[in-house]
Amino acid sequence: MIERIPELPAYAARVLDALEAAGFEAWVVGGWVRDALLGSASHDVDVCSSAPWRDAEQALRAAGLAVHETGTQHGTVTAVSDGKPVEVTTYRVDGEYSDARHPDSVRFVTDVREDLARRDFTINAMAYHPERGLLDPYGGEADLAAGLVRAVGDPRERFDEDALRVLRAVRFAARYGFSVEQATHEALAEFAPRLAFIAQERIGQELTGIFATGRMAWALESERDVMVAAIPELAELVGFAQNSRYHDRDAFAHTAAVVGGMETVTAGCANDAMRWSALLHDIAKPACYSEDIAGHGHFFGHPELGADIAKRIMRRMAIPTEVIRETCALIKLHDYPVTEKTRSIRRTLMRCEELCPGRGTALAFELLDLKRADALGKAPHCWSYCSELDGVSAALRREVHAKAPLSVRDLAVNGGDVIRERGLAPGPGVGAVLQGLLSAVVEDGVPNTRDALLELLRLD
């Protein structure tokens, strides 16, 4: 049920009033209108006006508003009203899109309906005015009510103009839990290959937006062609039979299930690295595939190679470095054996700290969630592993509470103690001794106390 549009914020009304007092027509457009109809008007307010940008700037300044020329080549200025930015753009239509992303030129017009006609989806092609009400020439309100993402006009024309709209359609559908209208869906598959012309960082931004909705699994399952076009390396997983008793799906379907499983085991609170690792954890399986004499599939080395491939994918998409580092660590460790035994827990913590200094403890818990999600994506007889991991989680919490050492920095002795007790000169040898002490604590259960470690130093 579509909500009644709430009252326009006073700061935005002030911008409308300034433009119309100067004799121009103005409407609120875009995301604010869409979200207001859904009862959550949290989007920034954008205004569209018949005023040429210079006239708009003059009218806004005359009303006492600060104005910045933020995109005058497209007719846009930004007014600052009560400390809030409001973009004001002249009605326009776009010229050809020779780069499949940006119009080569724009032409300013005087009819808001022409401006709405150039927009991507019906739910984004509505205008609102507090007195004139809702202007909805393409049925956006009905599509909101029906839960549909539908292109304005001919979807093939819309995606031919701007290929990034292919991913935007998936993001909007994921964000609101909508379906993609059939003709629009068919055009998505047809124009998905044109994502190759889009800057990789823009693709990364859209994928991050899809992850944030918690519905990446739906995107992989329902709009597979688009997702494979966005990340071409995923194509190798499609239809790839794993020939393993642990798997009852191809590698791509398993991946989608793991992505969904990550949302399940974290109650939708997974961070970016956990989500990316779920998506890319098995990306190297096709390259690492081998069969034994019984015809069973194996994937030796796929975690290490997968981490390398994931790093290349994420770097080209300009994903933040810290997210890449954590993602690659999780992928590298996703098959790392972990049990409830103290030695195993300490080894895992130490390995996590080596890969992500300062994040070892958090990474260890994230790793267990990735293992749970991975289990949920396997054959049903593997699902019980999630329960086994509950015991591992409890053991991990105990070790963390006991302040288990993660690196030589956590030992109860330091380099000065080694130099004094062993008579060594400062240098690499001191570090080697400290690593030996750390191994003794982790592997042999030597207490991490000053007395115990000093005694061990004196035994040599």
Nearest to 414 by CA among 440, 436, 434: 434
Only one residue has tokens 């790793």, namely 367
Domain boundaries for CATH 1.10.110 within the chain: 154-230
> What CA–CA distance (Å, rounded) separates 382 from 378?
6
Q: In what order do the strands lie in the sheet with 26-29?
A: 66-71, 76-81, 84-90, 46-49, 26-29, 127-129, 133-135
pLDDT digit string (tens) for 328-364?
Answer: 999 999 999 999 999 899 999 999 999 999 999 999 9
CATH: 3.30.460.10, 2.40.50.100, 3.30.50.10, 2.60.40.10. Which one for 10-146? 3.30.460.10
pLDDT digit string (tens) for 271-307?
Answer: 999 999 999 999 999 999 999 999 999 999 999 999 9
Domain boundaries for CATH 3.30.460.10 within the chain: 10-146
The model carries a pTM of 0.88
CA distances from 212 to 91, 215, 321, 372 (A): 32, 8, 18, 20
pLDDT confidence of residue 425: 86
pLDDT higher than threshold 60 for residue 374 = yes
Cβ contact 59:24 at 8 Å: yes
CA distances from 301 to 285, 308, 328 (A): 9, 11, 14
Q: Residue range 186-190: average pLDDT?
A: 97
CATH number, domain 234-406: 1.10.3210
pLDDT higher than threshold 60 for residue 270 = yes
Instruction: Report residue 250: phi and psi, to 5°.
Output: -70, 170
CATH top-level class for 154-230? mainly alpha
Residues contacting residue 263 through CB under 8 Å, at least 6 positions apart? 214, 216, 217, 270
pLDDT higher than threshold 60 for residue 3 = no
pLDDT digit string (tens) for 13-71?
Answer: 999 999 999 999 999 999 999 999 998 877 789 999 999 999 999 999 999 999 999 99
Q: How confident is the model at residue 105 (pLDDT cuts 50, 70, 90)?
A: low
pLDDT confidence of residue 338: 96
Domain boundaries for CATH 1.10.3210 within the chain: 234-406
